[in-house]
A and B are shown apart, each in its own frame.
Chain A
Amino acid sequence: MAVTTMRDALNDALREELARDQNVFLMGEEVAEYQGAYKVTRGLLEEFGAKRVIDSPITELGFAGLGVGAAMAGLRPIIEFMTFNFSILATDQIINSAAKMLYMSGGQFKIPIVFRGPGGSAYQVSSQHSQAIESWYAYFPGLKVVMPSTPADAKGLLKSAIRDDDPVIFIEQERMYGMKGEVPEDEDFTIPLGVADIKREGTDVTIVARSLLVPTALKAAEELEKEGINCEVIDPRTIRPLDIETIVESVKKTNRVVVAEESHPFCGVGAEISAEIHERAFDYLDAPVKRLSGADVPMPYAKNLEQLAIPDVPQLIAAVKEVTYS
């Protein structure tokens, strides 16, 4: 185990997979000479050369589609969006081409591609650069959606995503690149997609959190422990396919659940998890499922307003107390 940042864990995953398979290439804006807008791709141009680490023009629809076409021809592209905000320009290629190609070709053309980059809220960059859009991508059959919350998960999941034969949306939380954690050094370390992780075991209430809200949930759990409330924290890690069984098992044990997320509440992933829990474990619930989501507003710029838009530890503590009636 070595302690490293989320940024470097991702960098290691990219390096190892580029070295492992000649068909893997990395393309995106500023990924090569500039070393990545967030330095996730640092050193890769030098190590793998301009054939495999490619600076693209600012042309998201174009290079996302290029990646899908290259995948049809047998390559394994990693397409970096400088941020997922810009992936919105590429949604036609992600949804209409990548997600559906295998199906509409009757199984003839698989699309082994990873679309990755930072997403979620950033610091004071206002509405267009600070948003969580995982529910968009998770909506579509054909796509897999991954959101790591620790450096180890980031590395293990990214390696699995690159080796996977399906299109994977891999969303790295923009505020978490500097987060440190222990990461296995084994080059064969991978984490399977579709498997949730119990980040903290508990008995009184289940908190389902992903990405940015996982550290928030763990802090809230620590605080609540002092008050005698024992929280279990589950990170699904993969939004689609969703490991609902692990969540349901936890709910059957604790009988109370809070789904915490930074994204908007309406038609969000939290709404889906809540519905699944109601369908599968209604009889086990001692309180209605509680969602704690980001504010249903475009992200404001002012620091105080921005803080109000993202769920924090006090809000999560209040939500847990609501479902535990304490």
Chain B
Amino acid sequence: MNPRTCLDASVAYNRVSPSHASAGLCRLICPKGNREQMSSQTTQRRENARTTAAGVIDQPSTETLLDDDRETLLKMFHQMLLIRRFEEKCAESYSMGKIGGFCHLYIGQEAVGVGSISALRTDDYVITSYREHGQAIAKGISPEAVMAELYGKATGCSRGKGGSMHLFDASVNFMGGHAIVGGQIPLATGLAFAAKYKQTDQVTVCYFGEAAVNQGAFHESLNMAQLWKLPCIYLCENNMYGMGTSLQRAMSMDEVATKACAYEVAAEFVDGMDVMAMRRATQRAVERARKQSLPTLIEARTYRYMGHSMSDPGKYRTRAEIEKYQERDPIKLFRAKLEENDLLTEDDVKQFEEQVREQVERSVKFADDSPYPQPEELTTDIYANPLN
């Protein structure tokens, strides 16, 4: 094969020209504000953004209109409910000793995973951290395979070798839960690099918490992604606490999205309790990635109701604070919005609850009934090409 046939200037990873770069400006909203009030003041913040930042790219959150078909919307509602009940069951199973090790629950953050993944194709890549049960289910791994993995069973999506923090499924391009804070961010950059290299038009979404933003891996990745124009969406789930340390105690500034300015990466803040806002923001980022091969940083403001992991007594925050955020519970908000628009009735909700209850029960039964990995599995999958 003539190696020169692969020469193609249009896909070379060249830096944008200086003139292009300056014309692009820093396409970011960089409002200042009190993050305590953020979740109820998203619209206000966006108005501020319009007057304070050049080249604002995002849309006001009032744009979260229900203009998708009912089937899509109800599927999202169903997924959020399924993830909520699944995670509640995980907590129960963990207490019973059925799930071992670390177990990080997603309760409270469902809108982020469901809304963003609803904007993706099946062949798009999703890669994430150790708080990934919800995203795994949203991307298409069956609750049975997830629960079996948590139970350490051979039928788990990682055949019992990964556990809660390492769910994988190549068939839906779920590229793993990764358990070193920020470790998945360079990997995501590589997935996006490969998509561009192979000209597949696949988009990569990479989830991480706000604490991961303090790792060098985040900054190294954003730099490369914009430098080489990679179709990657960096989606920060800002739940305000890195384990037991609040964002204010760990970060010199209180906004994550603003950091994108440093790399000329497009960015936006999103109300992470609003599943439609997540869907819209991700759709915009997907379009930027798919059509222009450009990265985006999305900061989703969200909140986890449970501890960092199951062993977290949660003494770093008050009950009142948790209850305040639960007033804007993502499932409650979405349900109200659907009901307002006559897309959902109380009977529908009952039906969904029943359906989800059955799904979760089925996943537990499947996990319970499944065999543990065979002892010889201990030494398989270490090398793809074993030598001796």
Q: Which residues of A contact B (CB under 8 A)?
A: 18-20, 22, 25, 47-52, 54, 56-57, 59, 61-75, 77, 92-93, 96-97, 101-110, 112, 141-142, 144, 164-166, 192-194, 238, 241, 243
Binds A, one of B168-176, B236-244, B337-345: B168-176
Q: A65-B189, A68-B187, A166-B383 are in contact. Are A49 and B12 (CB under 8 A)?
A: yes
Closest to A192 in B: B387
| Complex-state Cα separation, A67 to B156, whole angstroms | 27
Contact A62 B382 (CB under 8 A): no
B316 close to A (CB within 8 Å)? no
| Complex-state Cα separation, A73 to B385, whole angstroms | 18
Contact A72 B186 (CB under 8 A): no
Q: A59-B223, A65-B217 are in contact. Are A96 and B183 (CB under 8 A)?
A: yes
- Which B residues are CB-close (under 8 A) to A48? 3-4, 6-7
Contact A165 B224 (CB under 8 A): no
Contact A73 B195 (CB under 8 A): yes
| Complex-state Cα separation, A210 to B387, whole angstroms | 20
- Which A residues are CB-close (under 8 A) to B188? 69
Contact B190 A19 (CB under 8 A): no
Q: A61-B220, A72-B175 are in contact. Are A66 and B168 (CB under 8 A)?
A: no
Of the residues A22, A50, A106, A142, contact of B383 by C-beta under 8 Å = A142
Contact A106 B186 (CB under 8 A): no
- Which A residues are CB-close (under 8 A) to B180? 92, 96
- Which A residues are CB-close (under 8 A) to B160? 106
| Complex-state Cα separation, A61 to B191, whole angstroms | 15
The total of chain B residues at the interface (CB under 8 A) is 57
Of the residues B12, B195, B198, B384, contact of A166 by C-beta under 8 Å = B384
Contact B156 A106 (CB under 8 A): yes
B11 close to A (CB within 8 Å)? yes
Contact B224 A105 (CB under 8 A): no
| Complex-state Cα separation, A66 to B221, whole angstroms | 8
Contact B183 A97 (CB under 8 A): yes
In the assembled complex, 29 residue pairs joining A and B whose CB atoms fall closer than 8 Å, in A order, are: A20-B1, A48-B7, A49-B9, A50-B14, A51-B7, A51-B11, A57-B227, A59-B224, A65-B221, A66-B187, A66-B189, A68-B186, A69-B127, A71-B190, A74-B194, A75-B194, A93-B186, A97-B183, A101-B176, A102-B381, A105-B168, A105-B170, A106-B156, A106-B158, A106-B161, A109-B170, A110-B384, A141-B382, A144-B383
Closest to A193 in B: B387
- Which B residues are CB-close (under 8 A) to A50? 9, 12-14
From 158 to 212 in chain B, residues with beta carbon under 8 angstroms from any chain A beta carbon are 158-162, 166, 168-170, 175-176, 178, 180, 183, 185-195, 197-198
| Complex-state Cα separation, A62 to B220, whole angstroms | 5
| Complex-state Cα separation, A73 to B380, whole angstroms | 22
Of the residues B12, B170, B223, contact of A51 by C-beta under 8 Å = B12
- Which B residues are CB-close (under 8 A) to A102? 381-384
From 372 to 388 in chain B, residues with beta carbon under 8 angstroms from any chain A beta carbon are 380-385, 387-388
Q: A69-B193, A102-B381 are in contact. Are A51 and B13 (CB under 8 A)?
A: yes
| Complex-state Cα separation, A99 to B166, whole angstroms | 14
Contact B1 A19 (CB under 8 A): yes
- Which B residues are CB-close (under 8 A) to A47? 3-4
| Complex-state Cα separation, A150 to B227, whole angstroms | 38
Contact B224 A57 (CB under 8 A): yes
- Which B residues are CB-close (under 8 A) to A97? 178, 183, 187
Contact B186 A104 (CB under 8 A): no
B8 close to A (CB within 8 Å)? yes
- Which B residues are CB-close (under 8 A) to A72? 175, 187, 190-191, 194
| Complex-state Cα separation, A75 to B112, whole angstroms | 30
B216 close to A (CB within 8 Å)? yes
Supply 4 further A-B pairs (C-beta < 8 A) apart from A104-B166, A165-B385.
A57-B224, A65-B186, A104-B176, A106-B156
- Which B residues are CB-close (under 8 A) to A62? 186, 189, 216-217, 220-221, 223-224
Closest to A75 in B: B194
| Complex-state Cα separation, A92 to B185, whole angstroms | 12
Closest to A195 in B: B387
Q: A51-B6, A106-B156, A106-B160 are in contact. Are A65 and B183 (CB under 8 A)?
A: yes
